[in-house]
Amino acid sequence: MTLLRMTGIGKSFPGVRALDGVDLEVAEGEVHCLLGQNGAGKSTLIKVLAGAHQPDQGEITWLGRPTTLPSPVAALRLGVATMYQELDLVPGISVAENVLLGHEPSRFGFTGGRVARQRARALMARLGHPEIDPDREVGTLSAAGQQLVSMARALAHDARLIVMDEPTAALAADEVDNLFRIVAELTADGVAVLYISHRLEEIRRIGSRVTVLKDGRTVAAGLPADTPTSELVDVMSGRAVDTVFPHREVSTVDSSREVLTVEGLTREGEFRDVTFHVHAGEVLGIAGLVGAGRSEILETVFGARKPQAGVVKVDGRPVKPGSVPAAVRAGIGLAPEERKAQGLLLDLSVAHNVTLSSLPAYSTAGFVDRDRELRDSRATLERLDLRPADPRRLVSEFSGGNQQKAVVARWLVRGCRVLLLDEPTRGVDVGARAELYRVIHELAAAGVAVVLVSSEVAEVLGLADRVLVLRDGEVVADRPAGELTESAVLDIVLAGSALTESAATQGAVTEEVK
């Protein structure tokens, strides 16, 4: 029997359409897998289900009856419990308190410690871990232990549908087995599980059906879980929205001038022995899953993280490791992944944001030359076609694409030699993307060495001259972009995360690459 049916769900944020017609149908007692590339809309969909986001359009029915999920509490009451990827536990309090957080058994307002402990103990036993003490502080548990607490919390709500967002990301192999056993028991009791994972082999093992999201839309619903890998990859990568990548008739790569050299860069637990070279006018794309170490590498090159080994050179001269000011002086610029949290000063004007890294050049004896600042900012905004090109407006008043241009403008004004772009088009709508793509190519044409990290494989392939594929912190492929296809890259990336992926996929990789 159908437990949950979502039809035509749409959700917009300022400047971006996160969900654009999602259909999802989950039956009682099944493990329904949700598949899609980063940015396909999975997280937004989960938040809609959890009552954290309100959809702009679409219908939700629960056991055949139309319903809404106006708040997280309402979702829980209905029977939808969510286990987020970043565990939402309170580390400083006990297991029992976490499990029953928000609906503590109480009498006359006093919390009933004994009842809570008993219930928590019973739930942990049901999950196969009676040894976890309900009085234990959650922060002292391992990642797997915390996950169990998170699951116990879902069960404590008598959930009919449990949403699991990449539950195995932090687990070792035997812990994964235990998780799957629990999932099997839950589904035998009629509980449905919406399972999100990048690991296709897990989906094969426990999944009943698969729904694939792409660009905020359902592109395949209710596929059997044993659909061949190549077919799933095709569905995931088939572009519903055709983003036009600008043509580059002439390559701008000046192979005689190597601008950025990275050799043997290592940070334990993040990435190992990363080596690459970028020439003037070249765009190097870095592909890989979230967590493969992409942003960490960029931030280390930029000096925001200190490497344990390896060197970064600009124009052959080594850059002092672990120092952002040194990297900036050497001519490196970074447009960070989290535009608002790491890139912009939302309370300041565009001009102030643009000149932030070049203030000494815009001041005499410490006094800022505000006329020159405004003039140069405006000229740069016009060069990047940032609209409206009024540098005195607050940066928070601009759309995502224009904010990204403001970050790029900061390094343009400084005259950088190397530009590191971390997810430059995240949260940017299609039209503004095309403009950003043009800007990136024009920067390259002007002799800048560009390193581009993106979760969208098509973007990396469309923009870059050469592509680096990362898997678990290691470079597993370094090839000219022309030799790769989107499904080939996805295959390389997914093959790595599917621990025991069949030989068929391996074959597909080599085939595609050839």
Partner 1 sequence: MTELRVLDPKSAPPREEPRRRRALDLRLAGLLGVLVVLCAVGYATRPDSFLTEANISTMLRLAAAIGVVSVGMTFVIISGGIDLSVGSIVALSSVWMTTVATQSYGPVVMVLCALLVGLACGLVNGVLISYGKIVPFIATLAMYASAKGLAERLSGRRTQVVTETGFTTFFRGDLLGVPVLIWLLAAVFAVGWVVLNRTTFGRRTFAVGGNAEAARLAGIDVKRHTALVYGIAGLCCGIAALMVVARTTSGASTNGMFYELDAIAAVVIGGTLLTGGRGSLIGTLIGVLIFTVVGNIFTQNNLDTDIQNIAKGVIIVAAVLLQRTTSARRRGARTT
Enumerate binding residues for partner 1 (CB under 8 A): 13-14, 16, 18, 39, 41-44, 302, 304, 324-325, 327-329, 334, 336, 340-349, 352, 356-357, 359-360, 362-363, 366-368, 370, 382-385, 387-390, 392-394, 396-397, 410, 412, 415, 426-427, 435, 438-439, 442-443, 445-448
Closer CB to partner 1, residue 62 or residue 84? 84
Closest CB 92 distance from partner 1, rounded Å: 17
- What's the number of CA atoms in the CB half-sphere (13 Å) around residue 486? 18
Closer CB to partner 1, residue 216 or residue 496? 216
DSSP lists the bridge partners of residue 479 as 467
Closest CB 427 distance from partner 1, rounded Å: 5
Closest CB 26 distance from partner 1, rounded Å: 21
- Between CA 384 and CA 355 the distance in angstroms is 15
Which tokens in the block code for residue 82?
């969510």
CB 477 within 8 A of CB 469: yes
Residue type present at position 485: T
Closer CB to partner 1, residue 192 or residue 436? 436
Closest CB 88 distance from partner 1, rounded Å: 16
Closer CB to partner 1, residue 310 or residue 331? 331
Q: Which positions ≥6 away from 259 have C-beta within 8 Å?
A: 278, 279, 280, 314, 315, 417, 418, 449
Closer CB to partner 1, residue 306 or residue 392? 392
User: 98-103: long-range contacts at Cβ-Cβ below 8 A with a sequence spacing of 24 or more?
Assistant: 98/138, 98/149, 98/153, 99/123, 99/134, 99/149, 99/152, 99/153, 99/156, 100/153, 100/156, 101/153, 102/73, 103/156, 103/157
Closer CB to partner 1, residue 227 or residue 252? 252
- As a whole number of angstroms, the longest Cα–Cα distance in the chain is 79
Backbone phi, psi, residue 502, to 5°? -65, 160
Closer CB to partner 1, residue 86 or residue 131? 86
DSSP lists the bridge partners of residue 212 as 35, 220
- Between CA 299 and CA 420 the distance in angstroms is 9
Closest CB 274 distance from partner 1, rounded Å: 20
Closer CB to partner 1, residue 221 or residue 348? 348
Closest CB 223 distance from partner 1, rounded Å: 23
Q: Which of 269, 307, 403, 428 is nearest to 349 (CA)?
A: 403
Closest CB 109 distance from partner 1, rounded Å: 29
Closest CB 376 distance from partner 1, rounded Å: 13
Stated as kind and residue range, the H or E segment containing 382 is helix 370-383
126, burial (CB in 10 Å: exposed 0-12, middle 13-18, buried 19+): middle
